[in-house]
Structure 1
Amino acid sequence: MGMFRTSVAFLLYLAASLGAPVPCEQEVLRLQAELRGLMEVIEQQHHYITGLHSSQAQQLQHIPNSHLSLDDLYRDCSEVFADGNVASGLYVIRPDASPSALRVYCDMNNGGGWTIFQRRTDGKESFDRAWVEYKHGFGDLYSPEGEFWLGNEHLHHLTSPGRYELRVNMEDFEGNQRFAEYKDFKVDDEKDQFALHLGEYSGDAGNAMANGPSAGLEFSTYDQRNHREKPDDASCIRHSKAGWWFSRCDAGNLNGHYYNGPYQAMSDDGVVWYTWHGWWYSIKSVVMMVRASDLAEHVPPPLPGQHGP
């Protein structure tokens, strides 16, 4: 900023010291006015950049983390919880397989230690996205109600080492809540199309992902369709407005088009969990999250009034 001011001041001084003839005085005045205008623009940009820095600094203050070294960061929200952090919120982690750190939202309910990778609440965020967007992630991670997808590449890094389990919390437009859990949750890397693996199911929402992901079900988007297990279901990928691991068409598509009501879906392209509400009901809210299985085996039972796993 100081360099810009020095340069502008020098040009003003040079213009004033030229001793131009009288017919050129108006041109000198015009140039001086333009230079003053440029200086005002530079000043405004400086204030804007300063405001951005301040905003980012305030956001970082809300991300609790006791470790500053990249080598000492928590690997996931399970480690965050195991280290005594019981408040849900934003944390910085670095999975073993990840080349860099990332910010995630940790949910410390239902036994604690859950890393949220998907949230749907109000339809403000479009999930009709391209392959590269699902790879790197998108949406509003910072707001407690913001919609986002953490990113398939991050999911792969997160679930590669050790054993992880998946939990899906759902709520309909009548306020009813259901959940589904799967053991041995894993997402392959991009060369294997971010294929999904799931193990044993438990919960009260029904097993909408049955008979598909156990052997690895490839992720698909409108610009990269993968479906090696059931080629007849390729039409589901074409008409769906989402990126997802398509199994039995849209039987368990939680990235579908968001409808502001349960019965507005004109087809089965909504936020669908077939075994709970069928194909034609679009669910109001969804949260998908993972945690280390060894933590789940050793967490204490929930206190009275808390939701159990």
Structure 2
Amino acid sequence: MTPHSSQLCPRYFHKHPASDSCREEVARLREQETLLKGQLQTQETLLHRLQLPNQPGKEDKARPDQSLDIEYTDCSQLFSSGCESSGFYSIKPHGSPFPLRVYCDMSDGGGWTVIQRRINGTESFNRSWAEYKDGFGDKNAEFWLGNDNLHYITAQGNYSLRINLGDFDGNQRYAEYKNFQVANEKDHYRLAFGSYVGTAGDALSGSYQVGASEWASHQGIKFSTHDQDNDNYKGNCAQEDNGGWWFNKCHSAHLNGMYYPNGHYSALTDNGVVWYTWRGWWYSLKTSSMKLRSMDFKMDPIDDPNAVHHRPTS
């Protein structure tokens, strides 16, 4: 049994997938309206209490509804509070001006906040800086949660990033990084991450061969889009590789690339959905998802005999 009723979980239910931006905007405005109504009711109740005469020994019955004040900062808090079903929830990370509608993945130990998903190529990821800043796509299908939101979440403490990958033959792999962090926009959403464990290979660090990390590592790299070039390459990686990402000169991992429906592809550049240490540069993956979880989250350890562990090089 869970310690809280499911009615306390700030869930979102959909009978049909919300596939257009209007529905996303309506959902966001409703979230904001609910929050403001709760804040207004709380303030009115507090004002009423201040206006009452001080009567020691008598319980004040005009208390605000405490459930209105519950704000979860990520999906791991929700899971720990008894919300153990995968689905859409409302969270409000510290620093975020509004609540966020997010998909919480309660598999793989539970408590994961999904920040990216690729499944079928229905969404273009060759987007502008502004679109990557705010987020885009359909959270029922393919989407990017938004770089501002990645920063708000990871600035709250220490977070793990888990990446789940799938190819067109039904094979699946994963990569998990400790201490994943995304800086603010002023620092161009610079990426930082710690030790690796997984079965997909450590593509983010570029440590798979001597000398590769100089040009292939994503450690400490700024985010780039086709209209804002922050990479270390003389050209524009985001423009050549058709998507926003943390490009060095250019990449050994690029999960926001062009979607190719058959896996193997040929192009002028390695612009597919790429995780080099698993399927190489010239194979575009069928599925990917990126998700975050607080490292303070308590869970039973999952023993994977196939997992490889790497510590970041100094």
The normalised TM-score by structure 1 is 0.71
CA distance in 1, matches of 2:256, 2:274: 8
C-alpha spacing 1:150/1:261, structure 2 compared with 1 (3 Å): same
Counting only pairs closer than 5 Å after superposition, residues 112-261 of structure 1 correspond to structure 2 as 112-141=110-139, 143=140, 146-210=141-205, 211=213, 212-214=217-219, 216-227=220-231, 230-232=232-234, 234-261=235-262
CA contact (8 A) 1:198 1:213 kept: no
Q: Secondary structure at the match of 2:162?
A: strand
CA distance in 2, matches of 1:67, 1:252: 45
Counting only pairs closer than 5 Å after superposition, residues 33-182 of structure 1 correspond to structure 2 as 69=68, 71-141=69-139, 143=140, 146-182=141-177
Amino acid paired to 1:73: E
Which residue number corresponds to residue 290 of structure 2? 288
CA distance in 2, matches of 1:195, 1:184: 13
CA distance in 1, matches of 2:135, 2:164: 20
Per-residue deviation, residues 26-79 of structure 1 (Å, max 9, x unmatched): xxxxxxxxxxxxxxxxxxxxxxxxxx8xx969x98xxxxx9863x521000010
CA distance in 1, matches of 2:200, 2:248: 17
Deviation at 1:92, TM superposition (A): 0.1
Which has the larger displacement, 244-253 or 75-84? 244-253
C-alpha spacing 1:67/1:284, structure 2 compared with 1 (3 Å): farther
Deviation at 1:85, TM superposition (A): 1.1
Q: Secondary structure at the match of 1:294?
A: coil
CA contact (8 A) 2:233 2:248 kept: no
Which residue number corresponds to residue 271 of structure 2? 269
CA distance in 2, matches of 1:258, 1:56: 28
C-alpha spacing 1:174/1:161, structure 2 compared with 1 (3 Å): same
Q: Secondary structure at the match of 2:296?
A: helix
Deviation at 1:86, TM superposition (A): 0.9
CA distance in 2, matches of 1:231, 1:281: 23
Which residue number corresponds to residue 44 of structure 1? none
Per-residue deviation, residues 82-115 of structure 1 (Å, max 9, x unmatched): 1111100000000112121110000000010000
Which residue number corresponds to residue 300 of structure 1? 300
The normalised TM-score by structure 2 is 0.70
CA contact (8 A) 2:218 2:247 kept: no
Which has the larger displacement, 264-273 or 74-83? 264-273
C-alpha spacing 1:219/1:110, structure 2 compared with 1 (3 Å): same
Per-residue deviation, residues 161-186 of structure 1 (Å, max 9, x unmatched): 11001000000000000000001001
Per-residue deviation, residues 158-211 of structure 1 (Å, max 9, x unmatched): 110110010000000000000000010010000000111111111010111114
CA contact (8 A) 1:67 1:73 kept: no
CA contact (8 A) 2:132 2:144 kept: yes
Which has the larger displacement, 179-188 or 71-80? 71-80
RMSD after superposition = 2.6
Deviation at 1:236, TM superposition (A): 2.8
Deviation at 1:213, TM superposition (A): 3.7
CA distance in 1, matches of 2:92, 2:281: 38
Q: Secondary structure at the match of 2:254?
A: coil
The percent identity for this pair of structures is 49
Deviation at 1:238, TM superposition (A): 3.2
Larger-gyration structure (1/2): 1
CA distance in 2, matches of 1:102, 1:189: 18
Q: Secondary structure at the match of 2:79?
A: helix
**Gaps spanning 5+ residues in structure 2: where?**
1-22, 32-64, 206-212, 304-314
CA contact (8 A) 2:233 2:249 kept: no
The structure 1 segments of at least 4 consecutive aligned residues displaced by more than 4 Å after TM superposition are none
CA distance in 2, matches of 1:100, 1:107: 21
Amino acid paired to 2:299: V
Deviation at 1:247, TM superposition (A): 3.4
CA distance in 2, matches of 1:79, 1:89: 14
